[in-house]
Structure 1
Amino acid sequence: MDPLCSPVERFIRDLPKVELHVHLEGSMCPPVFLRLAEKHRVPGLPKTPEEVAAYYEFRDFAHFIEVYVASVQVLRDEEDFALLTADVARRLAAQNVRYAELHISLYNHLARGVPASVVFAGVEHGRREAEREHGIRLRWIPDFPGDYGVEAGERTLDAVLADGPPSVVGFGVGGMEVDRTPFRDLYARARAAGLHSLPHAGETGGPQNVWAALEVLGAERIGHGIDSMEDPRLVDHLREHQVPVDVSPTSNLRTRAVADLAEHPLPRMLEAGLTVTLNSDDPPMFGTDLVNEYRTAHALGLDLADLALLARNGVAASYLDAAAKRELVAEIDAALAAAEQR
């Protein structure tokens, strides 16, 4: 049997999904990347699909960050951000993703002289278009690279508070994984303004960064968090307090955060009772998408009920309204029941 026609594949494709850890800029597909690079005549970037594929072969996490920062140079005006958002939303909707919370690398644009008002105007145009054409709902998590320091975070938050639309749901920190403790006051201000605390932590920096995200930044979800499994006390805390952990297996492999996919802690995280959600992070850069992440989870030994649990966890951890959550969970349960009857 063609694996793409298998019962598991059909279930994965039929499964209603949400995605909570995916970067807008990291979701730029090669045709859009090449189109914008040519439009703005950006030097030093790939010029063919083959060159893009080679460009996205990462030596390690630091090299990935270097490529990511170089790639966002192609985004310069409102039209660029609208085009990117509409394209990303279309590809998400084609995977039966109903709702997504996308990180926006806002500081990387501010640092290049692109105003936050331009970024938000563009992504909002694309969001509204996507909701009209595909029915998918999008929300935003502006973030900054932690290794750029507190000043970068303050500048990003100031821009969000000045120009951010109501569709902004949270505030993030990513980049190279440095100590999160210096961002205490910054995150206190973000939370006081009504933004949810949604930092990256425990991807490459160890469980101590997850503790800092929780205790210092008031994190409501942990981006990546795979290093949590190194600390049994942390695992107990995450389980007891039902703190969602947004996991992206292929990303972890491609950035060398894990040496081999077979070693990925996703199955152990579920066995430990953690509230794990499944995500694609930077899909074109890592040669994946959310459907493929569900395939990967199945290849790691998860059965259909486990995959449905991941989907339900995503709904529960999202900032969808209660009625929409109930509707999506009912659809997920119906998809599982139909698959189990086949």
Structure 2
Amino acid sequence: MVTDEEFVDALPKVELHVHLEGSMRPGTLLQLARRHDLDHLPTDLEALRAYYEFRDFDHFIEVYLAAVQVLRDEEDFRLLARETALGLAGQRVRYAEITFTPWLHVQRGVDPAAVFAGVEAGRLDAEREAGIQVRWITDIPGLPGTDNVTSGERTLELALAHGGEGVIALGLGGPEVGVPRPQFGPVFTAARDAGLHCIPHAGETTGPRTIWDALEFLHAERIGHGTSALDDPALVEHLRRHQIPLEVSPTSNLCTGAVTSYAAHPLPEMIAQGLAVNLNSDDPPMFNTTLRAEYLHALRSLGLSRQQVFETAAAAVEHSFLDEAGKRRLRDEFAAAAVDLGVRAAPAA
């Protein structure tokens, strides 16, 4: 019988909730900080690890905003995009929808053409080198005390002006407390009208009302995190009936204090309640995790069976915005893997 590690390594994978900026490897961050002569960050790996020990979600955002300042030009973004995609490919990820936040960079003076040209070049580099397919979600950086309406409008303008075929969706990240979701309604309506998918974060550090707001005002097709969904039976019924996917990132939730322990994480109950879920890594180096590690935690720390883990991995194909031909290829790969791993193949949606 294969070990847990062998089981996870043999699984084809899809990643739907991972942030480009939050995927920067520690060595890359230090390299770029030195390249641009920045002195606001730790200068060695040991100090950087300590820097990534977060007190709470607000502290995580503070560190995140400081770290992204090392990204200054097209080559920086190309390097980050290529490294991130190749890192996923090395974990048998076949397709990924990666979130990045262009307004964070443009508002501090980075040329938007450089941001988008860099991430697109890195995406194509990785596709040529490893076969992984990547598409982009442009994220609104919802932050308390800022003009969030303007940041949302500018983010959409940037996506439409520079995104090309690589950008498929508009997202919304940042803290939920103090950043009501309804204010973003017009920009998400405009995004949908322009042909983009709508994928906001909601219900991670706030209650289920935030998820309702994302559904009612932001046309959410998937929910980033959604860990508080189980607190509202009516919401559970709505999500189950409409099979609206929740992008679950257990280690991220633990590191930011959204949950207190793996044992307390709601993922097993979400599955028991029939909710559509997929498994993700969010900001892997910052949380000392990988997508591979998340699948191992699902088996070892969350108590999911191999069948449940396999079905969760296969479900991500159906929850993605990959074209139908691509989905068929991945379904075939999952069916072959099921035979090799001794599990039942998940039925196609």
Coarse TM-score class (shorter-chain normalised): over 0.9
How far off its partner does 1:144 sit?
1.6
How far off its partner does 1:273 sit?
0.6
The aligned residue for residue 73 of structure 1 is 69
The aligned residue for residue 189 of structure 2 is 188
User: Normalised by the size of structure 2, how large is the TM-score?
Assistant: 0.95
The aligned residue for residue 257 of structure 2 is 256
1:270 alignment partner AA: I
The aligned residue for residue 87 of structure 2 is 91
The aligned residue for residue 201 of structure 1 is 202
Take 1:335 and 1:262, find their aligned partners in 2: how far apart are those partners?
29
Whether the 8 Å CA contact 1:173–1:200 is kept in 2: the answer is yes
Whether the 8 Å CA contact 1:11–1:335 is kept in 2: the answer is no
Whether the 8 Å CA contact 1:308–1:333 is kept in 2: the answer is no
Whether 1:115 and 2:111 are equivalent positions in the alignment is yes
1:154 alignment partner AA: E
After superposition, the CA RMSD in angstroms is 1.1
Take 1:296 and 1:230, find their aligned partners in 2: how far apart are those partners?
23
Take 1:320 and 1:304, find their aligned partners in 2: how far apart are those partners?
25
Take 2:2 and 2:324, find their aligned partners in 1: how far apart are those partners?
33
1:35 alignment partner AA: Q
Take 1:59 and 1:305, find their aligned partners in 2: how far apart are those partners?
35
Take 1:298 and 1:233, find their aligned partners in 2: how far apart are those partners?
29
Whether 1:305 and 2:304 are equivalent positions in the alignment is no
Query: Which stretch of structure 1 is more off in the superposition, 84-93 or 144-153?
Result: 144-153
1:324 alignment partner AA: G
How far off its partner does 1:34 sit?
0.5
Whether the 8 Å CA contact 1:305–1:336 is kept in 2: the answer is no
Take 2:190 and 2:325, find their aligned partners in 1: how far apart are those partners?
30
Whether the 8 Å CA contact 1:304–1:336 is kept in 2: the answer is no
Whether 1:126 and 2:122 are equivalent positions in the alignment is yes
Take 1:48 and 1:255, find their aligned partners in 2: how far apart are those partners?
23
The aligned residue for residue 276 of structure 2 is 275
The aligned residue for residue 216 of structure 1 is 217
How far off its partner does 1:6 sit?
5.1
The aligned residue for residue 176 of structure 1 is 175
1:151 alignment partner AA: T
Deviations 1:159-212 (A, max 9, x none): 111111211010011111121011111111111111100100011011001000
2:149 alignment partner AA: V
2:48 alignment partner AA: V
The aligned residue for residue 165 of structure 1 is 164
The aligned residue for residue 320 of structure 1 is 322
Take 1:124 and 1:305, find their aligned partners in 2: how far apart are those partners?
36
Deviations 1:274-312 (A, max 9, x none): 110100000000000000000011121111111111111
The aligned residue for residue 285 of structure 2 is 284
2:319 alignment partner AA: A
User: Normalised by the size of structure 1, how large is the TM-score?
Assistant: 0.97
Take 1:237 and 1:102, find their aligned partners in 2: how far apart are those partners?
27
The aligned residue for residue 133 of structure 2 is 137
Q: Secondary structure at the match of 1:250?
A: helix
How far off its partner does 1:257 sit?
0.5
Q: Secondary structure at the match of 1:211?
A: helix
Q: Secondary structure at the match of 2:244?
A: coil
Aligned length: 337
Whether the 8 Å CA contact 1:7–1:339 is kept in 2: the answer is no
How far off its partner does 1:325 sit?
0.9
Take 2:19 and 2:86, find their aligned partners in 1: how far apart are those partners?
15
The aligned residue for residue 346 of structure 2 is none
2:173 alignment partner AA: G
Q: Secondary structure at the match of 1:199?
A: strand
Q: Secondary structure at the match of 2:166?
A: coil
Take 2:216 and 2:94, find their aligned partners in 1: how far apart are those partners?
32
Take 2:284 and 2:321, find their aligned partners in 1: how far apart are those partners?
22
Take 1:55 and 1:230, find their aligned partners in 2: how far apart are those partners?
33
How far off its partner does 1:13 sit?
0.4
